[in-house]
Amino acid sequence: MERNIKMTGAQTNKSICVYNEIGKLRTVLLHRPGQEVENIVPDYLRRLLFDEIVYLEQSKREHDQFADLLRDEGVEVVYLTDLMEDILGDQKIREEFLKEFMIEGKAVTRGLQEALTEFFGGLSPKDMIDKCIAGVRTNELKHIKPKSLGDMVKNPYPFYLDPIPNLYFQRDPFASIGSGISLNVMSNETRNRETLFAKYIFNYHPRFQDAKRWYNRDKTHPIEGGDILVLSNKVVAIGISDRTDPTAVERVAHHLLSSEEGFETVLAFDIPKKRAYMHLDTVFTMVDYDQFTIYPGIEEPLDVYSITKGKENELHIRYEYEDLAVILKEHMKLPAVNLIRCGGGDRIAAAREQWTDGSNTLAISPGKVICYNRNYITNEALRKNRIEVLEFDSYELSRGRGGPRCMSMPLIRDLL
């Protein structure tokens, strides 16, 4: 694997610079699937938020195709594990991280914590972070000294620390907005440890310590990055979804609109609360200055609210009565807006391809996107609307219920 954590310096000296969805992508954060995927078993699919078993070797090949497409377009690819390896070389940070990781992983008994501390103590920073993500099976710790009732009670569950197989969806644990991040609260406890990695990277990695915080993981209401789209340097869209609570949307909006970033409006998209539409970006993404791809099944039930800064730093919230294209046109000050429908507008094709993230595109520059090759009807609809589509294999990665946008977190984009 190529390792590259140098700053590009292409457009900014900031570590985070994301003021749009389509500007030339300069730096992106990924996580290549690892042993954690092999630790998914049928009995615990629901617990780990998967619908199917993923074949690791093929998923790695597909992910490498994705990363190579990005590099071929001049994008700097940064890996989460490399950044964590950098900071875990500091013994104090390593000890702090492991203690917090064990507590959030429910490994809280004294005997188990001592055994895990000893187990991880012999690992290099790279092996340690890989193992934290992969999970620790019960048969890997042979010498736990019982020091509490919890150490003594028999438990058939096969892990002392759960694997973290959703980590290859780097869009969700935090979100880049302007020159800062929303460090998120995940809606399901299974995924909350994912945000620990972002917490330590943004607290301790020298490259990222200047990033502002628009939300923090110690808050009470969930918000996930797949629901956050930075449409322009004036407008941010946030989904109220199966995974994001309206209170969190309001709090992020308050911090953004009262900052000096220049954002003027947050559009809150209230989408149906279904696993199939778990985030806004699974049904709606931006592909060009005035073009968006959308799953037609959400258009009729969709409610949109505009949030702007009112008097005395209060928020002004208004229900938007117009159709989505009109709402986007007005708030983004565009002559017109074109909505490109998933499945080419065909009801059956749209439902099938939305399930495998046909609307979950990753724009790498205006009018150029990366998509799964399996969503061929949607991809053809994009091409008919003058969008250049780059494709890669999607046999296994799509089983995790996320597409190219879900798997990537932009850190730096060109300004428009």
Residue with tokens 């060109």: 414
Nearest 10 degrees: CA dihedral of 408, 411, 412, 415?
Answer: 90
φ and ψ at 66, to 5 degrees? -60, -50
Residue with tokens 């950044």: 83
Q: For residues 287 and 270, what is the distance between their CA atoms, to the nearest angstrom?
A: 21
Catalytic residue among 17, 132, 342, 406: 406
Q: Which secondary structure element, helix H or strand E, spans residue 117, and what is its range?
A: helix 110-121
* Total Cβ atoms within 10 A of residue 193: 21
The DSSP line for 124-191 is -HHHHHHHHHH-EEGGG-------SHHHHS----SEEE---GGGG-TTSSEEEEBTEEEE-B-SSGGG
The tokens for 4 are: 């590259």
Q: For residues 98 and 200, what is the distance between their CA atoms, to the nearest angstrom?
A: 11
Whether residue 47 contacts residue 20, with contact meaning beta carbons closer than 8 Å, is answered with no
Q: Maximum CA pair distance of the chain? A: 70
* Helix ranges restricted to H, 300-396: 324-331, 347-355, 376-384
342 is catalytic: no
Q: For residues 78 and 30, what is the distance between their CA atoms, to the nearest angstrom?
A: 6
CA angle 57, 62, 65 (to 5 degrees): 130
Hey, which residues are catalytic here? 406
